[in-house]
Amino acid sequence: MGASREQFGSRLGFILAAAGSAVGIGNLVGFPVGAAKNGGGAFLFMYAIFVFFICLPVMLAEMSVGRNTQKDPLGAYSMLSQRSSKWSIAGWLSIITPFMIAVFYSVITVWILGYLVGAATGDLEALANPDYFGEFINSSQIFVYMIVVLAIMYLILQGGVKQGIEKAAKLMMPALFFMLIGMVIFVLMQDNAMAGVKFYLIPDFSKIDSGVVNGALSQAFFSLSLGMGIMITYGSYINKKADIPGSAKLVALTDTAVAFTAGLMILPAIYSFNPNIQPDELSESSVGLIFTFLPKIFLALQTSVGFVGASIAASVFFLLVFFAAITSLVSIFEVPVAALMSEKRMSRQRALLLCGLLLIILSLMCAVSFGMIDFLTGFMSYAGAEKSFFDVVIDVFYETILPLNGLLICLFVSYRWKKHNLSQELAAGSEGYSASLFEKYVNVSVGTFIPIILLVIFINTVTTKYFGVALIG
Ligand code: PFF
């Protein structure tokens, strides 16, 4: 079985695919605004510490479990725990969580495609109208865009690891870097851009409180695609010669660099539009920012570059976000597909069709929960708020179960699989890892303070989200 497993064709392919997963909507929009609102340089500094001291060890744990077992998360937990039923719960969570995240993420990707097409076909003025978003997400157009997004994902994933995932990453990631740099240069040339740069970079430590710390860590964790079974699955597609610590560091670095660079695009753009804007006026959510705030800014660019220039800038921006979203979606969707292939011995085509069908049903349920269908719009209510089906999926899987999955993998590698096995796996292909300071740090952190921190985040999320009692922040 292990011998016939699909593999990435090269180290670069693996790194680009993993970075493609990590670089997503969170980096391009969520991170810049989070940083700007919460202390600028102070937030950036704290975020970088979290990425390298807390998230990187978790990434290493996930990748090494994948490579050691050459299995999907379900099979990996089962194999390394000698089929313990207790640990199979962690395995199942690592399959169900990415699937449900794919559900809401694909809906956002569908909207991005709609805005990309709108901007590219001369509709920027309509997109910039504050009422447009509400109308668009409740229009029948979204079903057409949904078909296109699913077809693109299908086309990539049916090609398998090397011909599908790796090829797409090798094409889309460099294009994404190129467009991002182009946008940064363009935006920095606009009036008042430097005010945005200053605002983004100058540290304000007074903004840092426990809520901001919690938010930064959660953002870093999500941004590196942890707790989603993705790094276990991608790790299972590399061989023993691959240097996991080196590759993981590069993935973390790329992800952080893209997030940082995205800030140099978003904030100067916002400030060139309104030099007196106050941080509180920036939209709280990524969705609000992408779909209502930014189109207004792009339209305003027409005074300096004309309508066509503004439409091109908006199109490049949405294409950039679209590429980031697609490479993330592909990685997350590969998790349940890989599980069905190896656990149920299904062919890739069948696994894709089955998961695709389920995804269509659940994504449609999300897509119509913004007013189209009452039952799904007011799906549940907790902590005094009415929640749509879309909100519930985000609250349960993204906000709550993600840190729990991180906690479980840390406990698993430290206390069930055992640290010497983790070390041995990480040392294979990585000269100098054994007996290094980094090895000691990874072993200690994964078995002690990282799971404790993740447990605190998990408990705080549960009490805040579902009972309205915030322990932190
Ligand atoms: N790292 C991704 C991001 O920042 O957007 C997280 C992610 C989300 C990966 C959804 C995959 C996915 F489907």
> Does residue 340 contact residue 99 with C-beta atoms inside 8 Å?
no
> Does residue 160 contact residue 237 with C-beta atoms inside 8 Å?
no
Work out the average pLDDT over 395-410: 95
**Domain assignment of residue 408, yes or no:** yes
**pTM for the full predicted model:** 0.95
Residue 145 pLDDT level (bands cut at 50, 70, 90)? very high
Work out the average pLDDT over 148-153: 97
**Domain assignment of residue 6, yes or no:** no
Does the pLDDT of residue 226 top 50, yes or no? yes
Mean pLDDT of the chain: 95
- Ligand 1 close to Cβ of residue 26 (< 6 A): yes
**Domain assignment of residue 473, yes or no:** no
Residue 288 pLDDT level (bands cut at 50, 70, 90)? confident
Residue 400 pLDDT level (bands cut at 50, 70, 90)? very high
**Domain assignment of residue 5, yes or no:** no
Distance, CA 25 to ligand 1 centroid (Å)?
Answer: 7
Q: What is the pLDDT of residue 93?
A: 97
| Count of domains forming the chain | 1
Distance, CA 305 to ligand 1 centroid (Å)?
Answer: 33
Residue 2 pLDDT level (bands cut at 50, 70, 90)? very low
Does the pLDDT of residue 340 top 70, yes or no? yes
Percent of the chain with pLDDT over 90: 90
Query: Which CATH number covers residue 84?
Result: 1.10.4160
Rounded to 5 degrees, what angle do the CA atoms 468, 471, 473 make? 95
Which range marks the domain in which residue 222 is found? 11-467
Given ligand 1 and candidates 149, 217, 221, 222, which is best to mutate, with the most ligand atoms within 8 Å of its CB?
222
**Domain assignment of residue 18, yes or no:** yes
Tens digit of each residue's pLDDT (9 = 90 or more) over 228-250? 999 999 999 999 999 999 999 99
- Ligand 1 close to Cβ of residue 102 (< 6 A): yes
**Domain assignment of residue 422, yes or no:** yes
